[in-house]
Structure 1
């Protein structure tokens, strides 16, 4: 883990209690959850697939994947987020591994071979996102896929706090990353990649003005 992992984990743990109040985090609104479930279904291979959910937060996407018959493993640096994820999946009757760890360099105990690696709005938090992408692709089975739900929001939403106290390393993709920039980083590493814009306000619980998208890349 990064040398300052404790301070980073504390930063995110401070949001754990209220994290699911955001419509796209908690998926408490049935319409929002259905919208994400439909998208995930379109990006995933046939179930059951082994899916590594990196930066899983409180486990909302992992829960949807489990409900669709997949075998998710969640990794997040924040212990309080992982506690919520475990409770959420256990309450729904699923025995899925949710563990504390560095999502940019997943712990070996999470597994070393997956059909899908999924992350949502994680890359902007990493000091070396391109190295993380290389590591993640190395964990994919032949024909496996990388599903990256990302966006570029800082310039479109200047009122949002983009600070990250306790993080001394520079974050080159702070505020998000444009789809074309992410594709350029991926092209040398994968066989194929496509972008799917995600402007639907149902996914976010509100109308958005910035760039939101998913990249699906194949190893």
Structure 2
């Protein structure tokens, strides 16, 4: 059973088939992400790595990395998101394991890499989640986090923004990062969880892939050996 509020899960279930992948930071930006992530993972964990995409949504990162030859597991709390992810993956001929589950409860692993995008702000205990992601990694494994100041983002659709506000009205108070976070706050979480080699990789992007949201960053870190 999911501990996420029903209204929140319902919101993401609905968004999965109502314009989510058409947003500027989603499928229209896929090639930009692929050109940056594929060489980064190849350099850090090698070819054919076992990768966990936590909070995978419609499988944006999972499908990029599976297409690059990695063995990918995608996990999300929203069954609706995973249904779309599985359909997209099947259409693209990709073998990805899709799992329903909380971001703070990753499968045991060990994984060579854990990747996550725009997820930390949604979690009631982000510090615990980051610590559990470290335990899911092999020694020396890679953590890759992308996030930003989502509390200041504009979705661009009044009806969707109202649905978001209504869905999160009762949940935001329990989310310490509901306004989003910057690189420094994320680096502190990684440090506290015992990660090493914490690095700011934001400069891999010449411009932020999310025009509507300030504070985009890309962080990498390694599990201690």
TM-score of the superposed pair, with normalisation by structure 1: 0.86
- Could you tell me how far 1:73 is from its partner in structure 2? 0.4
- Alignment of 1:149 onto 2:156: no
**Uncovered stretches (5+) of structure 1, i.e. residues with no partner:** none
- Secondary structure of the 1:14 match is helix
1:191 and 1:218 in contact (8 A); partners too: yes
TM-score of the superposed pair, with normalisation by structure 2: 0.84
Runs (4 or more) in structure 1 with deviation over 3 Å come to: 1-7, 155-163, 198-202
Aligned equivalents of 2:81 and 2:96: distance in 1?
Answer: 15
Residue range with higher mean Cα deviation, 162-171 or 173-182: 162-171
Residue equivalent to 1:195: 200
2:115 and 2:144 in contact (8 A); partners too: yes
**Uncovered stretches (5+) of structure 2, i.e. residues with no partner:** none
C-alpha spacing 1:196/1:89, structure 2 compared with 1 (3 Å) = same
C-alpha spacing 1:11/1:165, structure 2 compared with 1 (3 Å) = farther
Aligned equivalents of 2:152 and 2:53: distance in 1?
Answer: 27
What are the Cα deviations for residues 98-134 of structure 1, in whole angstroms up to 9, with x where unaligned? 121111212x4xx421000000000000011001000
- Could you tell me how far 1:43 is from its partner in structure 2? 2.9
Counterpart among 109, 112, 120 of residue 112 in structure 1: 109
C-alpha spacing 1:9/1:158, structure 2 compared with 1 (3 Å) = closer
Residue equivalent to 1:66: 66
Aligned equivalents of 1:166 and 1:85: distance in 2?
Answer: 28
Name whichever structure is richer in helix by fraction: 2
